[in-house]
Amino acid sequence: MMIRNIVFDIGGVLADFRIKEFLMDKGLDAPAIRRVLKASVMNPYWENLSAEK
């Protein structure tokens, strides 16, 4: 089996996890940021994924 992809999880380890600031820097407005957060890091599945270490 050949490794094809490597995912680096640097949020909170090698760099600050500042997703709101990141999204604002990309030009998203407050409602769009809330939708992105709700669909990702504020979703209950996020905690389950991060707990599976």
Predicted local confidence at residue 15, as pLDDT:
72
Predicted local confidence at residue 37, as pLDDT:
92
Predicted local confidence at residue 50, as pLDDT:
63
pLDDT tens-digit profile of 2-53?
988 887 776 677 777 888 999 999 999 999 999 999 998 888 887 777 665 5
User: What's the Rg (C-alpha) of the chain?
Assistant: 14
Predicted local confidence at residue 40, as pLDDT:
86
Predicted local confidence at residue 52, as pLDDT:
53
Predicted local confidence at residue 51, as pLDDT:
61
